[in-house]
Structure 1
Amino acid sequence: MRLKSVYISEYKNLNGFTLDFSQDSFLEVFVGKNGSGKSNFIEALVEILRHIYEYDWGDNRHELYFNYTLRYEIDGTETTISFNAVQGQLKINEVERATVGQTPKPDNILIYYAGHNKSITAVLKQYEEKFSNRIQRADASESRPFIGVGSSYNELFLTVIMLLPDESPAKSFVMEKLGIDALEDSLKVNLKRPVYAQRPSSTRNFDIQSEEDKFWKLVGTSREFLDVLEDCPLPEDGRVRTEGYLASSDTYQMYYSLHEIRNRFNGYTSLEFFRAFDNLKTLGMLDSLSLTLKLANGREISSNMFSDGQFQAIYLFAISEIFKNANSVTLMDEPDSFLHPEWQAECSEQLQHISSEATASNHILMTTHSAVTLINSPHQRVRYFDLQQGTVRAYTLPKREAVRRLCSNVIKYTEQEQMLSVLNAIYIDKKPVLFTEGSTDPVILKAAWYKLYPTEEMPFIAFYAFTCSYINQLITDERIHNEMDGRPIFALFDFDEAYNQWHSLNGQEEERPISDGLIKKWSGGDAFAIMLPIPNNRIIQQQVFTDDTLTTHHKGRSSCAIEHIFYGVEGLDQYFNSEPVPGGRLIKFQGCKTTFAKEIVPTLASEHFETFRPVFEFIRQKCEESTVQSNAA
């Protein structure tokens, strides 16, 4: 599924607006400052697609008051649909039509937005109300194509993914990202009185004991789905559970076996499971879904205990994988607006895990005005929205220029400038280089070196390199290796999600204690990727290691940054706080990292820097070896 082009005659500040979509990637990034027309473009596209889908609904047809032309391709077949609002004339492939009929259309329009766009919220609400009137007796093939996904879908998405076979890569990815080690064979489903049964014209009193009145007289495929679920009970385990219809709350509470669900619905895809549960949601009937999960630390939690922020780590991936068997368009209007910068930076990285099947069937359009999100984007060129004299224009710009415009030079970033800066430092100092992912890491490393080796000059340059993914690019870049003149290159990764980047480097791992800092030598040259050493502090060790032996770790689910090395030092309590997380608590740094690195760290006694010694000894040894080899040559 690929959108090809769109023309919009007049919608808000879009006048005579035409846009040709790129065909190079499944992800299209639209950039611009607030008020530049990005959100209006997404709104207009939603209006156009809704007009096409509802065109054959007779009196319930969605009215549109602007002209448009939309061109797209599905399974190799290109379709052009145009509409003249004044004449009320629809054309498909240049032929006048009274109906859309069997014209190929996207199976789903997935709209992921931060919730601040009231226009999109209103359009989706109107559509859902219309569709819920139809779905009580829906045919098996009728599930709503327009789906506004947000935090209310967290548990539904997780349930659908967990219903996949254990060997599913998508299931493994989600469990890894959320820190799930095991899954109890239990799904709790809560149902409430649906919208249709609350209307004045409906019969409010139901004989729940009657098979006909069960589930508030629900019929059609949604009733068939619930009836099959009834044949998937949990095995007897001695536990007492409140199940069935609860008259006091006018709700149903049921428990089902995941194993039995997979057996009874053998052959069901994740998309079919999603549509079955989503139909109940559309009716206003699905109150909640809940799984019981075991985390890596052995604690059991309910799936509703995950925060929205934790779900962000799998959201886009889950959407794409669930809908990979459908031709879909995903519209994301500034999904990063209210997110922490760490997630913004990882947004594009997350998309790279999506399978080739999903990228072939799903065209993702994302708007953003976040430079942090854009910096990690895989695109070298992006579509920039610009408002000039009341008219919106969209044109292609290099990513570095788009970032510069977004930030008005507040953030100065270009890959070329960064590379030139690295090469210049190497040329001047003629030393090995150690890349870090934190801007204050070089300051802390320099302080640590001279605390441990006060009479020795630091034999390397510590250099800030933005992100852990960019570090991997730098230590494998031939331009840098050519300038090193035989000197080694090092990179220091925090022991958290950055582990995944360290692990992905092609190379041979050194045999050494994990606490001393895991080290991997790149197979293509004299470059060493180093994981942050772990301090001898039980609380921080628990955030990295799986048990007291300190021999296995949580991989990318660990949480140890360079500041954690100083946790527990007397007088530094104000720089750390303990936050509740599923299964326990997490120590996080708080405050200004720059102030901490420049003003606090240098005042600490040398004994508090011993954690760095094993890494420094390794680096010093490699520096000395390169010097000997250079002199011998």
Structure 2
Amino acid sequence: MIFSYFTVLIWEGFSINLNRLKLLCNYKIFKTGTEFKFNNNSKILAVVGVNGSGKSIFQEVIVNVFMNIYAKVNKFKVYLDIDYEFEYSLTPTPLLYSAILNDNNTDFGYENLKEIVVKVISQGKDVFSVKIFYKDRIDSLIELKDVIDFNIFLPSSLVVYSSGENETISNELLRYRLINQDKYFNNMFNFNSSDNYKMNLEYVYNNYRSLLIISILLFDNYKVNKLKDLVEIRELLSFDLNLNLMQRSRTRVELPEREVYNIKKLLGFSSTFYHQNEDNLGDGSYKLVFKNKHKIIKDEYLDDPANLYRTLEYLENLNLLKISKSKRKKLIRENSYSIKDIHSYYSNEKKIFELIDSSILKNDKTCIKILGLSDGEYQVLLIMALLLIHGQKNTLFILDEPDTHLNPEWKSKFVSMISMIKDDYSQCIFSTHNPDVLTDMKSQDIFFFKNGKLNSVDINTFGANPNIISSKIFGKNNTISERARREYERYYHLIEAEDSIETLERVEQEILYDFGNSSERMMLLNKIYNKQRS
């Protein structure tokens, strides 16, 4: 195998940024030689097109290319091989800076580092070529020759969400996530801390969604409060959980001391935990009450929902221990069914961790459970929670139709909410069918797919009328829907054929009654007035 290390370039103020992807093989509807070029330093990109146009496959390709690189760099088995040329940029971090210093053995100031660009070529089983350069402030191009671990030159996190639980966009990411989790659980007391520098793989699966929302609702910082105001929530009062560390063999799951400490800190919000068992994690149900405890939460978790979520995520991950080691290995190797269904392989016995109930106080003083939120409330909180909790420098978000359940007002605020919530040095690529969302996007930041081919956006979408966007991009040429359109056409032909003033006046009244305010109603009424005057 040819294995040389990447190409890295650097410009000030850049976030992670995908630069170029060229397919060197057929991938579903995309042909060999298909090339995608990304706008330089676009922090938010929209992917659009009608159903079946290729927009979800485009997102899938990006995820699977990164999974291919991840597998080859870490010497994992490659289950889905793709041939490609790929370039992306990273914003400088202290870790990347230390790698540059170690490579060059020179006094090179962090302030002189601009942008790092990574170039990868993968073709067949024998070619995997990666090179890295960086540029200083005077644009000197310097190659990194002795990179020890390429993992640090991958995105810090790859976070994937699919509104419709798209299997093809998630399966390979979930496979390697399971490989990492299995490796950890098989050796969690002697886990290699260097694995912390690997790209974090996050697919926002159902089991984790409520945990993300709970994690942000317990805080009162500026960004969280803007979200609470949007959905008219005052605070999260409490939630209930079950803990069962007893295994089938009647032995208890033993956890590292640090994790035990974090779980105890969380259970400390229950009035029963320390009274029951001060030294160990006792099995049972716990009601965690947070009313009037926001100052404690802020101090305990450093005012960062991510710190709380890590504990809840860890507890949810423990449920994988309910799957035998042999079955976990089978899942990792399996191609014939969806590995997205990992959690369906739990035995019928109790899970190690389960979120049971919750109580959310709304602004109108009513209390609801987290699953009592409307689909739109749940989705907007979830998307913003994952952007806030997983957002850090050099994170790439791939969101497949994250605005499906939002009402028109929230759709119009969607892009501005993403901009407010996510880290400035992360990049978000989302797909949408909503023209209202696209009125906040520049044309150069939109990938428009039609019949599997990338098309140019030939209108200025920013601030444009949604009806124009709907016509140009989604092929909807009517401003009213099909049933109303048929009625419009019936009235149009009726007016065209009618000469009786009395009949025209009756038709006019019917139109005023049947049609709401629209350009179509105005056109019909104008046609009547013109006939009456003639």
Does TM-score exceed 0.5, indicating one fold?
A: yes
Superposed CA offset, 1:303-324 (max 9, x none): 3322333212333322222234
Query: Aligned to 1:351, which of 402, 406, 415?
Result: 415
Q: Which amino acid aligns with 2:55?
A: K
Distance 1:84 1:59, change over 3 A: closer
Q: Which residue of 1 aligns with 2:229?
A: 176
Q: Given the alignment of the two structures, is residue 378 of structure 1 paired with residue 441 of structure 2, yes or no?
A: yes
- The CA distance in 2 between the partners of 1:102 and 1:77, in whole Å, is 17
Superposed CA offset, 1:312-367 (max 9, x none): 2333322222234443111112334xx35x53663351231345572512211112
Q: Which residue of 2 aligns with 1:296?
A: 363
Query: Aligned to 1:77, which of 115, 119, 133?
Result: 115
- The CA distance in 2 between the partners of 1:8 and 1:271, in whole Å, is 36
Q: Which residue of 2 aligns with 1:13?
A: 29
Query: Aligned to 1:52, which of 69, 76, 99?
Result: 69
Q: Which residue of 2 aligns with 1:205?
A: 249
Q: Is the 8 A contact 1:81 1:92 kept in 2?
A: yes
Q: Given the alignment of the two structures, is residue 267 of structure 1 paired with residue 302 of structure 2, yes or no?
A: yes
Q: Which amino acid aligns with 2:22?
A: Y
Superposed CA offset, 1:542-591 (max 9, x none): xxxxxxxxxxxxxxxxxxxxxxxxxxxxxxxxxxxxxxxxxxxxxxxxxx
Q: Which residue of 1 aligns with 2:81?
A: 64
1:91-490 → structure 2 map (5 Å cutoff): 91-93=130-132, 100-115=149-164, 117-136=166-185, 137=188, 138=191, 141=196, 145-149=200-204, 151-164=206-219, 166=220, 168-184=221-237, 186-191=238-243, 204-207=248-251, 213=252, 216-219=253-256, 221-234=258-271, 252-258=284-290, 259=293, 262=297, 265-267=300-302, 269-284=304-319, 285-288=352-355, 290-336=357-403, 339-340=404-405, 343=407, 346-354=410-418, 358-368=422-432, 370-374=433-437, 376-381=439-444, 382-387=446-451, 392-398=453-459, 399=461, 403-412=470-479
- The CA distance in 2 between the partners of 1:220 and 1:58, in whole Å, is 30
Number of corresponding residues: 387
> How far apart are 1:287 and its partner, in Å?
2.1
Q: Is the 8 A contact 1:155 1:289 kept in 2?
A: no
> How far apart are 1:54 and its partner, in Å?
3.2
Q: Is the 8 A contact 2:218 2:297 kept in 1?
A: yes
Distance 1:204 1:8, change over 3 A: same
Superposed CA offset, 1:494-545 (max 9, x none): xxxxxxxxxxxxxxxxxxxxxxxxxxxxxxxxxxxxxxxxxxxxxxxxxxxx
Distance 1:121 1:183, change over 3 A: closer
- The CA distance in 2 between the partners of 1:263 and 1:307, in whole Å, is 28
Distance 1:378 1:120, change over 3 A: closer
Distance 1:48 1:406, change over 3 A: same
Distance 1:17 1:282, change over 3 A: farther
> How far apart are 1:404 and its partner, in Å?
1.9
> How far apart are 1:43 and its partner, in Å?
1.0
> How far apart are 1:173 and its partner, in Å?
1.9
> How far apart are 1:264 and its partner, in Å?
6.8
Q: Which residue of 1 aligns with 2:102?
A: none
Q: Which amino acid aligns with 2:317?
A: T
Q: Is the 8 A contact 1:245 1:253 kept in 2?
A: no
Q: Is the 8 A contact 1:6 1:70 kept in 2?
A: yes
> How far apart are 1:113 and its partner, in Å?
0.9
Gaps of 5+ in 2: 1-14, 93-113, 134-143, 274-279, 320-351, 481-508, 526-534
Q: Is the 8 A contact 2:411 2:437 kept in 1?
A: no
Q: Which amino acid aligns with 1:254?
A: Y
Q: 1:330 is paired with a residue of what secondary structure?
A: strand
Distance 1:175 1:116, change over 3 A: closer
Q: Which residue of 2 aligns with 1:89?
A: 128
Distance 1:333 1:263, change over 3 A: closer
Q: Which residue of 2 aligns with 1:2?
A: 16
Q: Which amino acid aligns with 2:24?
A: S
User: Per residue, is there more helix in 1 or in 2?
Assistant: 2
Q: Which residue of 2 aligns with 1:560?
A: none
Distance 1:26 1:144, change over 3 A: closer
Q: Is the 8 A contact 1:271 1:322 kept in 2?
A: yes
> How far apart are 1:205 and its partner, in Å?
2.2
- The CA distance in 2 between the partners of 1:351 and 1:57, in whole Å, is 35
Between 398-407 and 31-40, report the one with greater CA deviation. Answer: 398-407
Q: Which amino acid aligns with 1:7?
A: K
Q: Is the 8 A contact 1:82 1:92 kept in 2?
A: yes
- The CA distance in 1 between the partners of 2:435 and 2:441, in whole Å, is 13
TM-score, structure 2 length as denominator? Answer: 0.62
Distance 1:143 1:134, change over 3 A: farther
Q: 1:160 is paired with a residue of what secondary structure?
A: helix
Distance 1:191 1:54, change over 3 A: farther
Gaps of 5+ in 1: 198-202, 208-212, 237-242, 247-251, 414-442, 448-461, 466-593, 599-633
Q: Is the 8 A contact 2:211 2:312 kept in 1?
A: yes
Say which structure, 1 or 2, has more relative contact order (CA 8 Å, 6+ apart): 2
- The CA distance in 2 between the partners of 1:159 and 1:143, in whole Å, is 27
User: Per residue, is there more strand in 1 or in 2?
Assistant: 1
> How far apart are 1:151 and its partner, in Å?
4.6
> How far apart are 1:108 and its partner, in Å?
1.5
Q: 2:365 is paired with a residue of what secondary structure?
A: coil
- The CA distance in 1 between the partners of 2:46 and 2:205, in whole Å, is 20
Between 285-294 and 21-30, report the one with greater CA deviation. Answer: 285-294
> How far apart are 1:412 and its partner, in Å?
5.0
Q: 1:146 is paired with a residue of what secondary structure?
A: strand
- The CA distance in 1 between the partners of 2:145 and 2:84, in whole Å, is 15
Q: Is the 8 A contact 2:241 2:285 kept in 1?
A: yes
Q: Is the 8 A contact 1:161 1:170 kept in 2?
A: no
- The CA distance in 2 between the partners of 1:261 and 1:143, in whole Å, is 32
Q: 1:69 is paired with a residue of what secondary structure?
A: strand
Q: Which amino acid aligns with 1:395?
A: S
Q: Which amino acid aligns with 1:2?
A: I
- The CA distance in 2 between the partners of 1:235 and 1:206, in whole Å, is 24
> How far apart are 1:154 and its partner, in Å?
3.5
> How far apart are 1:232 and its partner, in Å?
4.2
